[in-house]
Amino acid sequence: MTDEEKKEIEQPVETLPPSQPEEDFKDKYVRTLAEMENMRKRMQREKQEMTRFGIENAIAEFLPAIDNFENALRFAEQAVGDVKNWAIGFQMILAQFKEVLHNHGVVAFHSEGKAFNPETHEAVEIVETDEHADGTILQEFTKGYKSPARVIRPARVKVAKKPTKIDEPAEEAEQKITN
């Protein structure tokens, strides 16, 4: 080793002033770690939501088949002999489908007699009547299903509406306007 090399080694390394820049680097480092942890948690949550959404969409495609099973089994209860034996087997299959729904937190909800809610119901028929309160669901055509997070399929229902009262015929009202 030469004398010049020894002098370079022996010279102290320039250091940053101990106060501000060092604190800035520590702060940036801690913030970056926190941001990375938050991003990891957010991505994990989004992945879980996407998986749940995909499962719920797949389940939604099976709901019409489950409805058909239930409708067919209602008629099979009146049958006799071999048809009744077949119906017992189909009831077991339907029970398995419902168990899968239950395992994923998907439940059917009852609508008849309740107030119409556009978030959970789809009105397919409106009946004017004085016998029921305005917006009361009179009949449920198709069951609605929901998960803890969202409505998978709204119930298709018939809704009561108060009749509109016409005080005077349209022609008389029109004549009053023109006069």
The per-residue pLDDT for range 70-113, each reduced to its tens digit, is: 988 888 777 777 888 888 888 999 999 999 999 999 999 999 99
User: Is residue 6 pLDDT above 70, yes or no?
Assistant: no
Instruction: Clarify whether residues 80 and 125 are in a common domain.
Output: no
Q: Which residue segment(s) compose the domain that 85 sits in?
A: 18-104
Q: Residue 90, CB half-sphere, CA atoms under 13 Å: how many?
A: 19
Kindly state the DSSP code that residue 50 receives in the 8-state scheme.
H
Instruction: Clarify whether residues 91 and 120 are in a common domain.
Output: no
How far apart, in whole angstroms, are the C-alpha atoms of residue 67 and residue 47?
31
pTM for the model stands at 0.66
Position 80 scores a pLDDT of 78
Query: If pLDDT is split at 50, 70 and 90, which confidence band does 124 have?
Result: very high
Structural domains in the chain (count) = 2
How far apart, in whole angstroms, are the C-alpha atoms of residue 133 and residue 115?
9
Domain end, chosen from 56, 81, 104, is at 104
How far apart, in whole angstroms, are the C-alpha atoms of residue 77 and residue 127?
32
Instruction: Clarify whether residues 96 and 119 are in a common domain.
Output: no
Amino acid at 130: D
- Identify whether the C-beta of residue 159 lies closer than 8 Å to the C-beta of residue 118: no
- Residue 31 tokens read as 């913030």
Position 50 scores a pLDDT of 93
